[in-house]
Each structure stands twice: as structure tokens, then as C-alpha cells.
Structure 1
Amino acid sequence: MSHPQRFQRTPLAAALGVALLPLIASPVHAQLEEVVVTATKQAESLQDVPISVNALSGDSMREQGIMTFDEYVNFLPNVVDAGNAPGMREIYIRGSATEQGSVTVSSAQGSAPGVALYLDETPVSFGGRNLDVYAADLERIEVLAGPQGTLFGASSQAGNMRMITNKPVIGEMQGRVDVGMSSTHGGDTSSNVEGMINMPIGDNLAIRAVGYSNRQGGWIDNTASTFTPSGPVIDRNSIGYGPYFRNFPDTVISSVSNTEEVKDDWNEATYNGFRVGVKWDVSDDWSMLVQHSSQKLDVEGSFLIDPSLGDDKSAKYQPESNVDEFDLTTLTIEGRVAGLDIVYAGGYLDREIDSLIDYTHYNNGGGYITYYLCSGNIYADPGPSNQNTCFDPRKAYSDTTTNERTTHELRISTDPDRRWRVMAGVYFSDVETKTLGEFQYYSSGDAFSDFQVQYYGAAAQSPYQLANETIPGVAGTNQVGPTGPLTTFYNDYTRTEEELAFFGQIAFDITDNLTATLGARKYDLETQLQGASNFSFGCRYGGNGGGGAADGFCNSHRFSNSPTDRFTALGAYNAGSLSDEQFLSLLNYPGAAGTYGGSAKEMFRGGGSNAATLQAIKEGRLDISSINSSGVTEEDDTIIRFSLDWRINDDIMVYGIYSEGYRPAAQNRNAGQLASNQSGIYEGYVVPAVATTDELENMELGIKSELFDNTLRLNASIYSTEITDLQVARFDPSNVAFLVFLENVGDAETRGLDVDFMWAVTGRLTLSGAASILDTELTAINEQLQGVSVPKGSELPLAPSFSGNIRARYDFDIMNGNAWVNAALVYRGETVTGIVGSAEFMTDTHNLAYGNDPGVSIQNEGGTFGTVETSNGSIPSNSRYVNDAATTLNLGLGYARDNWTAEVFVNNVTSEEGYVVQTAGKFTPESSMMRPRTLGLRFGYSF
């Protein structure tokens, strides 16, 4: 069987050189195929949907070898993904970005994503860690740009991405096997195998099964290095607890080598999984589909490089890994009653993530480092005359996160051929995320033991740390067994989100060619954060120390932090059931002192006190109005969408849209705490209790056209959006708080133009492409972030002013088969990283800590960053790192005969680096990069 000539409707970009044009043997034109999408939750032609939709077909993905998250996002010019590694990425559409998520807080403690990710009918979004679904046997990927909140709900704020799987086909026996292998320049080899079979069972039942295994070899080398903590760096980051290095001129500082972790090509990822679906046509009007998907993603090593070391190199002092497993079971029932179409879609997602990352860089910016790192002499009097020892500086972070999501949606719709068309539905979701995070410090055992010897004179006493212990819990904690042997700081949280929504849409054909559509969604959303952060400060295990504790317990609750108790108290005060006097007497971990020993402290201690937090509430600086008496944040609102589309003729449609989107609020674990630094711009600063819902309003005009006898498809849209109360995550231990927190940075605007086309030049040559022009601006800054974030008028991060791609495919007959050559050229414009202007300060930290410059470009945003000083005594500029523009070229040559296909390909021909600087949770810059030039072969057999 010869390979059919196909012209896929897709924004997937590629380009073929002009040199191929003389090879065109015939001027015969072929019409483009229709592409059907479900962007409006009904099957419609792409050209009939008055929404900006990009559709990437399964055939196109297979032709281009697109298999993973970063690969299919790379071909969508109005979509950007950012993150640390496979399974640790987040999506941004049309420039609505603040900052990529930090892996140490990307689960229960971070913001919800602004772009919703769907697998068929089920949302699988997750802040900082979107589900990295391997693209096996997909029918297509749909990207809906702009707010889709009325139909798709929370997190569809800036758009959504939907992965649509191939469903069982009744009455047909089908199958396919694909294998591939490749080699990366300067790196390891990769291989993949995929198999699919579709089997009919009788006349009304079919089963479809898919299995895959994909190993992606690494190319980054973890190089030999030695780390010595920098006294000047640690001194300027000290916050209120522990002396300075400079007071101890005879300090002995230990260095550490990473010899045991040196490895070439250490960043590898392996995808293993399967999907099984069963479809049953119950009757002529009713059908049922059950699917189960299971995947394990195993990542070893780090996908981040140290730019100061040169290309493809890192210097980590701990092993790194990320094991991400999920199981998703879905049920879809479709039927028709009394002229109404009825659809029920339910899903249950169970996901578990186990991560380990090197955290040694915390020595370059974390607070309390002298306490964790050095011996008891650091606290002795008179101080400078005493020698001090600072121990092994290695640090690691271990994280276990589970995410369970149950969703139900029931919707009905009228006959799509009527003049009046109605869709209505109800949606419910229940999401629970649990995270257990342990910060492991190699120095603390020696440092704390020495501290006890200095102060209690007993060398045999247990160290002051949380190692090997079961921590007393509160509501929302999940610890089962003891902590690790090096644990010094411990996060144990549960975050819940529950949403009930009613939605509807009415479409009316004003004339045969003019249609008005109005949609709305009424939602009630509840979010809550419970659990605790436990510190080592003041721990006295086994009855050690004054006022000791029972064996195996710790009286550190006076220093620890429980959002369970904080939000219960704030909610009670908001509800009027807690008086001013009662608020002033609140204790951290109520009752802990009597049970576990030690003395209880005020609940809102830290940079302030209960009295200071109460004053902030009364002055309106701390908003607690959305918190109920149970400590739950409640939100309810109605959002709308209106569109008007005019079909000028059978080939051209123009449309206008007004739409709104939202994402959930987020509670802060250190809610109500005043900044530890109460000078300069931080005077009066208080950590928000809740980062409120940020809302997006969008105005859009678009055109969809099929021209020249349906040989050219050209679509374009121009849009303007306003974002109110844009959420951002911050980590500022030197000035504000020891814990990452969220707040609303201010307002922003984005304006842009999206264009995509496909052109069947002849019956053999097809060109396609897409482009995005984007302009973003912060239009207002929250008063608390003046001088901390970049100033008003600055561009949003990760928002290139121009991105585009172009693709060409030329088919020709040879040796009784069909051959093709294709090429893809992708350009991603220059961007900046982050919303907080700390680049110059981070670069100065790198210079002090490592003695060299990271070599990353910096963009000065004007003004100054905070009140800290650099090594030359000046206050650093408010500045951000620049991610240079990148251009990649992919080439392929294939042949098909009968049921067989084979292709040789080269991706990233010029080995473009495409660096993107990562700053979230970092103290010196690190960068992600593109996979270098990769040469490979693909084979396929279908039946």
C-alpha cells in the first residue's frame, strides 16, 4: 500500500528551502483536509469555531517525532513552557506569566497554573509540575488561546491545552508499531518503542490498547568541583539569628568536593506507560467509554547547567532524581433524550512524585546559615577571640508529593442545526495535594552537637535537629514514619481545592451568516492550606536541655509554623468569634509547651508580633475578608463570554470576543507575619494571608479563511488583555520570611497578534507556519512590592515580542513507494526571567561565592532592588536576566511502502543552546537548555 498524500491542518511549523521548488513536477493543486476540533465541547470544523485554536494532529506529531511536553510546545509560537526538567514544567500562553515555579514549593504551597491542561475531558493541571504525558497514539493536541473559563473553569485563565487520545474504533482491526533510536551530539543515545492495537469485540464493542517505553539519553556533564562557603555572602544574608562570620577571623571553614557525583551525560529521562480504552455502543443513541492511563516518568540527574562553566555542564554536590507516576481512570457516557444531547465525563487522577535535588546553593542566600553550619563558639563571648569551626556545607531537598483529583461534569445541549442553540452543565472537582519535604543539612549534626557541648557540657546528648524523629502533627500533616538522618527543616502540608460550578452557553443565528453567542459560569471555590513547617531551633530530643521533652519529641513548636492554627485564628477573628484580647494571646501550636516541653511563643512572632499583625488587619494592610471560621478561603463569582461571528461567505469568517478567566486563590503558610527587615521599603511589610484570585479580561478580533479553492488556509487574531492582581511567588529570607510566599504583584496588560497558515502549493508541496507578535506591560505595582519587583511599565517575563515557525513537506514517488523530505525552522524571541529584579544581586553573589562571573546578560529595569548592598558597596540595580533569542532547524527524509515507514532525521541541526535562566528558589543563576543536535532513525509498521 502506498503512502497516501495528506495535508494536515496544524500549526506545527517547519520550513523547506527554496531550493526544493524546482523539484515540483506538477502544478496540480490539492485541497486541504478539514480539521475537526472540540474546543467548544462539541465537534466542529476548526474554521467554524470563533476561537483562536491551534490543532496539532497525531500524524503530524509522529512525522516530526514529537513525543514529550517540551517538544510539542516548541512548535506553538504563542505558548511558552518554563521549568527545571521533564515533569517540572509550566505553560504560559500569550505572555500571561510571572515566574516559573520553584520545585521546592511547586506542590501544595504554590500558585495554581494560569493555563489548564486536559487529557481528553479531564483537567490534569498542576502548578510548576504539569502532567508530562507522553504523546502516544494521540488524535491531536488543541491549544485554545485566551480565557476559556466559562466552559473549562479555573486555571483556564489564559487558555488551555487539550490532549485528545485516539478512541477505540468499533468494527475495525487496527494496529501499529513504532521504534526509534537517536544519538545526541556530545551526549548519550536514546531509544523508544510504541505499540497500539484496536480490536473489535462483536458488533458494538471495541478495545484499544497502547504501550510505550522511551529512554532519552543525557548530554549534561556533572563536572568535578569544590565548594567553600563564602563568609561575605553568608554575612549579608544573615537575618536576625546567629552572628556574622566577620566577627570570627579565625573561623575554620570546611570545603566539600563532589567527586562521588561526577558523571557524564547524567540528565536522562525514561517514560514507561500504557493506556487501555473500552468503547460500548449501548444502543443507537447511547455509548460508553472507559479509559485507564498509567505512566511512570523516571528522571536522573539535573537538566540545569551552571552558565559560568560553559556549555552542557553542571556542578552539583548531591544526586538528583524525579520519579513521577500517575494513574488516570475516566468514564464518558454520551446519549440523546428528547432531542437533547447528554454527556457525562468523570475522572479520577492519582499521582505521586518523589524528588531529590541538590540544595547546597542555599549557603549562598539562605538565612540562619551560621546556625546550621557552624559550632557553638559562634555564640560564645566575647566572640572575636574564639575560634569557630564551620562543617560540611552540603545540603539536599527531598520531596514526596501526592495529588488526587476527582472531577464530574454533566452537560446537555440542543440540536446544533437549530437557530437557537443551548448548552448547559454542572461541574464539580475535588483536589487534594499532600507534600512532605525534608531539607537535609550535612553540617547540622556536628554543629548542633558542638553547640550542646558548649552550653550543656554533655557530648553524648542528641543533636538539635529533626533527624530520625516523628514530629507531633496537626490537622493537615501527613508524616507516617520518622524523618531522614540529616533532616533539619521539615514541610508537611495538605492543600485542598473544591469547586462547584454551573455553566451555560446560548448561540443565536441573527441571520444566516451572523451568530451571537453568550456564555457564563457561576462558580463557588474553596481552598485551604493545612499542616506545619517544623524548624530545628530549640529542639531538645530525649529530654535534653532545659525544660526538655519526652523521648522522640521536640519542643520546637514555639519556633515552628502551623497554617492550620493561623488560618483558624484569622478566620475566627474575621467571623467575629475571636476578640482583640483573644487574638493578642494566641500561641503558636496551642498546648505544645505543656505536652512537649519548652515555652510557647506568640503565633505571629518572627518579624513582628500578635499586636503588629492585629494592627495590620485593622489598617487594611492584611486582608482576611475571604477566610471563614474554619480557616477556608471562599470565593464565588460569575464570569462571562460573548462572541459575534460573521461568515462573509463560505470561505471567510470574522469574529469578535469578550472573555474572562480566573485561577484559584492561594493561602500562605506564613500568613500575617511581618517582614524580619522593618527598614526602608520593607517597613510595615506583612506577608498576605491570601494571594487573591487574579482575573483576566480579553478583547479579541479574528479572521478565519480558506482561499484559492481551499488550497490556502489563513487565520489571524488580534487581542488585548487586562490582568488584575497578578499572582507571583517570592522567596526573600534576607528581608521578609524564611518561607516562600505568594502575593499579588499588581496589574498587567498584554497585546498581540497570532497568525497561522497552511498552503498546498501543489499536489506534492505543502507549506505551513505560525507567528506570534506580543507586547506586555506591568501597569500597576502593589505598594508592598515597590522597589522589590521590577517597576511599572516593565515587560512580563517569558514573553517574547516575536516568535514564529515555518514548515515545508515535499512528497514524491520512488521505488514503488512514497518518499518525502521535510524541514522545520522555529524561532523563539528574546525574553527576560522573573518578576523580582534581583539579577545584579544574584550575579554579585555568584562572583563572591565562586570567583567568576556567570556570563549571563542582564537588563536594567531602573531603580534599585531592595536595601541590600553588593560587594562594592552599592545598592544593586533592579534588573533581570535576559534569555537570548534562539533559532532551531529540524530536517527529515522518509520513505513508505506498503505498511512500512522509515525516516532519518536531524533535530536542532546547529546545536542551538536556547538558554533560559532559572531564578525561582535560586541564589545564583542556573539555566535550562535545548537538547543539542540529535541524529536518529524511526521505523513504523501499521496494519
Structure 2
Amino acid sequence: MDKTHTLSHTYKTRNALAFTPSRIALLVASVIGSTALEAQETNAPAVEESTQYERVIVTSRKRSESMNDVPISINVVSEDLINNLGASDFTDLLGVVPSLTAYQNGPGRTRLSIRGVANGGGNDNDTQNQETVGIYLDEIPISMGGMNPELALFDLKRVEVLRGPQGTLFGAGSMTGTVRLVSNEPNLTEFEGKYELSASKIEHGSQNSSVKALVNVPIIENELAVRISGYYLDNGGYIDNSLTGEKDLNTGMSKGAKISALYIPTNELSIDFSYLHHDYSDNGRPVDIDSTPLFVRDYPSFDGYDDTMDIANVTLTYDLDWAELVSSTSYFDRSIVNPRSLDLLFESALPPGITPHELVDLTDSEVFVQELRLASTTDSDVQWTIGAYADKKDVFYENTFPVPGADAILGVPSSAFGAPDDHLFYGFDDLTVKTYAFFGEVYYDIGDFSITGGLRYFNWEQEIAFYQSGLFNGEANSDERPKGSVDGFNPKLNVSYHLNRDNLLYAQAAKGFRYGGINGAIPASVCADELAQVERDGGDTRFFDPDEIWNYEVGVKGSDSKGTVSYNATYFHIDWTDMQTSRSFECGFGFKENVGDATSKGVELEVTIKPTDGLVLSAGGAYINTSLDADVPNLDAQKGDAAPFVPEISFTTSAEYSMQLNQDLEGFGWVNVQYTDDRSTEFSEQNSNYRKMDAYTLANMRVGIRFSGYEISLFANNMFDDDGVVRAIGRPPFDPPASIRVTPRTIGMTFRGGF
């Protein structure tokens, strides 16, 4: 049920313009002032006039509302922008959403961050990686530490990026924000379909091609409909292996199918069902070695990736007339095979004659989630949402280092160290996590003021069994780990004021948190001295505690009365305490601990302008400064050091123009520029793994025509073939100096149709 406020109208946003702070202040003041003057000059509320503009409806507070009435910082990536970008997964959206950044280690191995709350990398597969940004597919939480799934962005209504802590409604994984992929629902009244064909060529590499299609069938009009979609993406490669002669080794494939159904048996009850199967695989990470020409590497081990998942959900919605009762039941099953080259380690630590072989990580996870919530739907000045949440996660992770022939060459059987034959290392984590929570938010309108109070009680328990063995472990061990548990409260307070029907000013204080975890056993036989030092310092390598942030922000958002200018401006200040940081030992092992505090502060700006019919100018940017509040010796970092992988300045600008060429033919053009500032891989240059990543700029464009329900377009992504680095690598003796770069210039054609 749509209970959208009538205080403001909304229009379709794209992205926003990067003005200087002084210019944006003048623009905001001008918009607010002119709108207020117009309101004084007429006695009519002009609500009727505003309805001609398209409203952007979001469900960020688990109720349908106009985006301009939600007093938090939200970026909505529309289906049009997704199509213009040719985005194949959410990583492609990083450059167009201010404050959203990532630690990238190849497709499917991305760790998101928002507002600069980031402290570096770590092992992709570590079961103790706790995410700071929650990712949802409709009602289903799918985020997973450093292995966030990258689903194809097809048949989506929009992507909502909620910036700032969302712990009250979305829990611990949304410490700094939430990304929501919102799907199109089955249409109960119309038989319809859509399809898309695309082909392109990567500079320095091979071809891409994709096929996407969907069909919507109303089986019983206004009562039951089914929507079925599918996609197949053949991704080209651009990394060559100079040692083996293999070309374009990082080719990949993504395919999937989704079926969703909507059944409304009575006027009060609706039942939504969805099931998605997704497969992704590639033949190697997009890594090039810095000492060779660009897009070339020279080691033999295979590091391709395989990711299979099944996601299902049943959501029941019952209209009680005074409130809406929602039950959401989700199931998420995922299997990952994630090899990693350790060829440099072979060269430095093993005798000649042993053929290099990759480390192979396997992760199987199964998650059940149940949420029950009740949200008011009356016209009262007091609105509320309350609910209960529970989940159970089982993860089995194997860390294997098979090296054929190693036992014979070394003259020592792997079994002497508790490992399978020809395994220099073998270990596993068997993890069970159970959580439950109760949450609520209350919204109280007092004239033009609105006060929001939120609170979440959470309870988390974790049990884990470890086993580690092999020559590199020095022995077999399965040290018993303590059971992890924590509970507590997560509050939020928000005060907003409607300057007029179209503009909103708000201030918010909210706590964000994430759970702690249990570290794996560190073998005393190979790390005795370093373990002894930790014990002398009073530390504990067995577990780490939750960390938290307090986020304070003020913002203003809205539009002029005609919907020709819209804007969003936010200032935030974040205090981050008890940071979860990783300490690496010289012996090759390490553990997580709570050491260090940091402060992040910055500004997010977004503006959209429609100066004439058919022309949309939009842009957005962020300034973020995240620095340590004190020295952190285990990171070789000092007070004032900037957070890794966070650009201080980033912005995006775009222009789109469409015009009617004749009665049946429409032409359109779109151009976009994205800038990402310098970043580093560590807090401090004193850290031996420190690498600097230079700023880079991407330019994209698309031009085409539309006629009779069809669209044909030509596009160029990274038009000027920038070779910007998104992740620099260098951790001897495990990794040589190397880089993961933006995809080279890609030029192609897209054909879309529908019925």
C-alpha cells in the first residue's frame, strides 16, 4: 500500500553535478528561496501541479515513500542509467554513486565500503570477514564479507544506495549503509516481454556478447502472474600470459534464470515468490604484473573462479486496514571455488623441481532468514514499523594447497603433518552463526517537523571448528575455539523539517555496528616468537570483538516547484571505535584484533537539472577524509594516516539528450565522466605492503534511436582507454607487485525490444 506523503512531489533522478561547495550552497539557497516565494504568492497548495512529475518511490524504510520525504541520504540508480552504463553487475555502479567505494580482487571478490569506513584488504575467503555494507536482493540479504555476489543487473526497477548506518531496520551488516537491488514485480494485467542483445570488443582483448530476455504472463487477470527472465553473458578477456602464450585468459561467463510469481487471492493478502539461479566462472583474475607491459603476466598457476548460487524467497503481505503485516522467508545457498596463485612463494621458499600449483579455496554456505514486521498505514501523525528477525548461517570452508609430487621431492610425506598426500597445507573452518533481533522505528509529525526514533536489539552467537595441517603449518592442530556471542542495542534519532512542500532539511545521529568473530588457530611450531610477543603485550589471538561507528549528519534535499532542479547535499562526521584490523605475522599467519580508532568526515553532493525539454544534466561527488585518531603499531600506521582504498575526491557528471526525429523515430545521446582520486593500499607508507594507486578518469557514451518499441544504440565505455588501477597488489613472498585495472576501452552495439 502506497502511503506516500503529499507534502512534496518527486521526479525521476539520474545522477548529480559536481559543483564546488560555494556554488552548490548558492544553488540550494536559490532553489529553496524561489520555491518559498512561489508558495507565498499563491493560496493554492499546487499539489495538483506537482502530480504531473514522476515520483521516485523508494522502500528504504521498508514502506513505500517518496524519496524526497525520506530524511536520509539516498542515491537511486534508475533502470535507464543501468542500461546506459551497460552495467552487468553492481561493481559497474561504483563510479556513479558518491561515497560508494570498494576493495576489488576480481569479479565476485569485492568488499564494499561507504563514507570511507575501510581499513584494507585481507583474505577473500576468510569466514570471519564481517561486512560494513549490506546488500539486499529485494527482501533477501545476500552480502558475504569479501565475496559479495555480483548478480546480473537485469529486470531491475532500481538500485537504492542508502548511505549512513541502517542498523535499525537492516542489522549489523549495514554498519555504514545498504545497497538494495529492487526487482520489477510480475504484472497482473498484461502479457509482456523484453529482450536485449549486445556485442562489443575490448581494446587489447577479445569480444563480449550477451543475451537477456524476460516474459510476463498474467495467468489469472488481477490475481496471479508469473514473470520469467534469463541472461547469458560471455565476457571477453584482456590479460595475456607471456609464459604460457595464453591470450585473453580472464574471459568469463555469467548465466542465470529467475522466476517470480505474484498471487493475490483476496483484497487483503498478496503472496510473492521468487527463485534465482546464478552461475559465474572465469579463467583467471584480471591481474597484470607491474614489471611487464600492461595486461601481461608471467606465472603458470590457474586462478580462475567459479561461483554458483540459488536464492529463494516467499513474502506474504496482509493488509489489516490499520497496518500492513509482512512475513519474508529467504533461503540462500552458494558454492565458491576460488584458486589463488602462490608462484612467488614457490620461487622463494621451495626447492627446485616442484611444479608451482595454486592454492585452492572452497566455500559452501547455506543461509536461512526469517523476518516478520508490522507497519502502520493510517493517516495519523504517528507512524511506526516494528519487527523481528532471525537467521542461521552454515559455512564450510576448505583451504587447500595441493602440490602434485611434493611428497616424493621433499622426501617427507604430508601425512606426517596431518595433511592429505601431496598437500603442503590443508585446513577447514566449519562455522555456524545464529542471530535474532527485534527492531522498531517511530515517525512523529509535528506540523512541518518530523521526528524519527529507532532501536534494534540484537543477539549473535557463533560456533566454529578448525583444523589446520601440512608442512606450511608445521603440525596438525585443531585448537578448540571459544564460542562467540554478543548482544546489545543499536539506536537512531532523526529530526527533519519541511522547508516547504518540495524541500527537506534533516539531522541524524545513528549508531552502526558489525559483529566480531573467532580467529583461526596460529601454529606455535612456526610462529612461536610472534605469538609469545602478543601474549606478553596482553593480547588474545583467539577472537575479536564487534566494532562500531557513530554517524552524525545534516542534509538538505528537494527540488524547485517545477521539478527542473533536484538536489541532495549531506555533511557527515563518523567516529569509528575498536576497529577490526588484521595483524600479519612474518610466519605467514595472522589474526584480527580490535586496535585503533578513526574519524571520517565529508560531503556528498548530487544535482539534476532539466534546462529544456529532452535534456537532463546530472552529477554527483563526494569529499571524504578518513584518518586514524592515534598510532596503530600493528599496521605500522600513525595518527593522521588516511584510510586505504578510499579516494579523497570522486565525482561523476553526465548529460542526456533525446529528441523526436520524426513521428515514429526518437534519437538520444548520453555521455558520462567519472573521476576517482589517488588512493593507497595501506594506512602508512611505512608498511612494507604499501602501494599508491594514481587518480584516473573514465568517459562513457551511448547514442541511438528508438522506434516502435525497439532501441538500437552504439556505446563506448572508457572511451579514452584509461589504465587506472582499482587495486594494487604486492605482498612478498606471496604476491609479486601487480595491478587490477579498469577494463580497457570497450566499443559495441546494443539492440533492445519488447512486446
Q: What is the CA–CA distance in structure 2 between the aligned matches of 1:466 and 1:885, rounded to whole Å?
A: 50
- Tell me the distance in 1 between the aligned counterparts of 2:578 and 2:260: 42
Q: Secondary structure at the match of 1:790?
A: coil
Contact 1:155 1:663 in 2 (8 A): yes
**Distance change (3 Å), C-alpha of 1:920 and 1:880:** closer
Shift, 1:801, TM fit:
0.9
1:755 corresponds to which residue? 605
Q: CA deviation at 1:69?
A: 2.6
Q: Secondary structure at the match of 1:925?
A: strand
Match of 1:936 among 740, 748, 751: 748
Structure 2 SS opposite 1:345:
strand
In the other structure, the counterpart of 2:672 is 824
The aligned counterpart of 2:234 is 215
Aligned: 1:779 with 2:629: yes
Quick check: 2:17–2:606 contact (8 Å CA) kept in 1? Answer: no
CA drift at 1:880: 2.3
After the TM superposition, which residues 465-480 of structure 1 pair with which residues of structure 2 at under 5 Å, given as runs? 465-466=414-415
Per the alignment, residue 570 of structure 1 pairs with: none
In the other structure, the counterpart of 1:677 is 529
Q: Which residue identity does 2:574 align to in structure 1?
A: T
Instruction: Quote how far apart the aligned CAs of 1:364 are.
Output: 6.6
C-alpha contact 1:658 1:700 (8 A) present in aligned 2: yes
- Structure 1 letter corresponding to 2:325: I
Asked if 2 retains the 8 angstrom alpha-carbon contact of 1:811 and 1:819, the reply is yes
Compared CA separation, residues 414 and 682, structure 1 to 2 (3 A): closer
1:37-64 CA-partner distances (Å, limit 9, x unpaired): 1111111111110010001112321132
CA contact (8 A) 1:489 1:534 kept: yes
1:37-76 pair list within 5 angstroms: 37-76=58-97
Match of 1:439 among 394, 398, 401: 401
CA separation in 2, counterparts of 1:908 and 1:63?
13
Q: What is the distance in 1 between the residues matched to 2:754 and 2:509? A: 45
CA change 1:84–1:787 in 2 (3 A) is: closer
1:792 matches 2:603: no
CA spacing shift, 1:423–1:679, aligned 2, 3 Å: closer
Give the superposition deviation at 1:169: 1.1
Pick the aligned partner of 1:418 from 369, 380, 384: 380
Looking at structure 2, the residues matched to 269 and 525 of structure 1 have their Cα atoms a distance apart, in angstroms, of 37
Indicate the larger mover: 492-501 or 918-927.
918-927
Q: Are the counterparts in 1 of residues 729 and 736 from structure 2 also a CA contact under 8 Å?
A: no
Partner Cα separation in structure 1 for residue 346 and residue 523 of structure 2:
27
1:765 is aligned to 615
**Residue 353 of structure 1 aligns with which residue?**
336
Q: Output the CA distance in 1 between the equivalents of 2:435 and 2:82.
A: 34
- Quote the Cα distance in structure 1 between the aligned partners of 2:410 and 2:195: 59
The secondary structure found in structure 2 opposite 1:648 is strand
1:520 aligns with 2:371: no
| Helix, strand or coil at the partner of 2:260 | strand
* Cα distance in 2, alignment partners of residues 769 and 744 from structure 1: 38
1:722 aligns with 2:575: yes
| Aligned equivalent of 2:651 | 804
1:741 deviates by 1.7
Q: Which residue pairs with 2:38 in the alignment? A: none
Partner residue in 2 for 1:503: 439
Pick the aligned partner of 2:15 from 4, 11, 16: 11
- Spell out the pairing of 1:398-409 with structure 2 (5 A cutoff): 398-409=360-371
Identical aligned residues as a percent = 26
In structure 2, the residue matched to 1:638 is 489
**Residue from 585, 597, 601 that aligns with 1:732:** 585
Give the structure 2 partner of residue 276 of structure 1. Answer: 259
Structure 1's 12 and 895: CA in aligned 2 closer, same or farther, altered over 3 A? farther
Q: Secondary structure at the match of 1:72?
A: helix
User: In 2, Cα distance between the equivalents of 1:416 and 1:830?
Assistant: 50
Q: Among 92, 106, 111, which residue is 1:90 paired with? A: 111
SS, match of residue 676 in structure 1:
helix
- Partner secondary structure for residue 395 of structure 1: coil
Secondary structure at the aligned position of 2:366 is classed as: strand
Shift of 1:790: 1.4
Q: Is the 8 A contact 2:477 2:523 kept in 1?
A: no
Q: Any idea what the Cα deviations from partners look like across 1:67-95, whole Å, max 9, x if unmatched? A: 22321222212111222211111111111
Matched with 1:658 is: 509
The SS at the match of 2:399 is strand
Per the TM alignment, residue 920 of structure 1 is displaced from its structure 2 partner at its CA by 6.8
Corresponding residue for residue 206 of structure 2: 188
TM-score, normalised to structure 1, is 0.72
AA at the equivalent of 1:642: L
Q: What is residue 813 of structure 1 aligned with on the other side?
A: 660
Q: Deviations over 1:317-373 (max 9, x none)?
A: 2122111000001011111225121011110000001122221122477xxx3xxx3
Give the CA deviation at 1:167. 1.1
Code of the aligned partner of 1:936: G
1:712 partner amino acid: V
TM value normalised by structure 2: 0.90
1:900 paired residue among 710, 716, 724: 710
State how 1:519-598 maps to structure 2 within 5 Å.
519-536=454-471, 559-563=475-479, 565=480, 567=481
Contact 1:143 1:159 in 2 (8 A): yes
Task: Give the AA of the match of 1:519.
Answer: G
Would you say 1:362 and 2:345 are equivalent positions?
Answer: yes
Q: What does 1:238-249 align with in structure 2 at a 5 Å threshold?
A: none
Q: Relative to structure 1, is the Cα distance of residues 741 and 680 closer, same or farther in structure 2, using a 3 angstrom cutoff?
A: closer
CA distance in 2, matches of 1:38, 1:523: 23
| Residue number in structure 1 paired with 2:554 | 701
Quote the Cα distance in structure 1 between the aligned partners of 2:498 and 2:534: 56
Amino acid at match of 1:171: T
Aligned-partner Cα distance in 2 for 1:10–1:885: 25
Say whether the 8 Å CA contact 1:466–1:489 is kept in structure 2: no
| 2:341 alignment partner AA | D
Contact 2:257-2:277 within 8 A present in 1 as well: yes
Q: 1:30 to 1:658 in 2, by over 3 A?
A: closer
C-alpha change, 1:918 and 1:495, in structure 2 (3 Å) is: farther
Q: Is the 8 A contact 1:30 1:763 kept in 2?
A: no
Which structure 1 segments of 5+ residues have no match?
1-5, 16-28, 225-258, 375-389, 450-462, 472-482, 538-555, 568-630, 838-859, 866-877
Partners of 1:9 and 1:32 within 8 A in 2 = no
Q: Which residue of 2 aligns with 1:603?
A: none
Higher Cα Rg, which structure:
1
| SS in structure 2 at match of 1:111 | coil
Provide Cα deviations, 1:161-209, integer angstroms capped at 9, x if missing partner. Answer: 1111111111111110100000011100000000011110112000000
Alignment of 1:473-488 (within 5 A): 483=420, 486-488=422-424
Distance in 2 between the 1:934 and 1:170 partners? 39
Tell me if the contact between 2:274 and 2:313 (Cα under 8 Å) persists in the aligned partners.
yes
Distance (whole Å) between structure 2 residues aligned to residue 167 and residue 12 of structure 1: 28
Shift of 1:411: 0.4
| Contact 1:672–1:689 under 8 Å retained in 2 | no
Structure 1 distance, partners of 2:372, 2:751, is: 42
**Structure 1 CA distance, aligned partners of 2:338 and 2:739?**
19
Q: Report Cα offsets for 1:850-876 as digits up to 9, x if no partner.
A: xxxxxxxxxx35xxx5xxxxxxxxxxx
Distance 1:201 1:69 in 2: 33
**Residue-pair matches, total:** 710
Please give the residue correspondences for 1:304-453 in structure 2 after superposition, counting only pairs within 5 Å.
304-337=287-320, 339-363=322-346, 369=349, 373-374=350-351, 390-392=352-354, 394-415=356-377, 417-441=379-403, 444-449=406-411
- Which of the two has greater strand per residue? 2
Amino acid aligned to 1:186? H
Cα 1:426–1:93 change in 2 (3 A) is same
Change (3 A) 1:12 1:670: farther
Q: Cα offset for 1:560?
A: 1.9
Gaps (5+ residues) in structure 2?
A: 1-9, 20-49
Residue 288 of structure 2: SS of its match in structure 1? coil
Deviations along 1:422-448, one digit per CA (max 9) or x if unpaired, are 211000011111111211235732443
Secondary structure in 1 aligned to 2:596?
strand
Which deviates more, 51-60 or 188-197?
A: 51-60
Give 2:737's aligned amino acid.
Answer: P
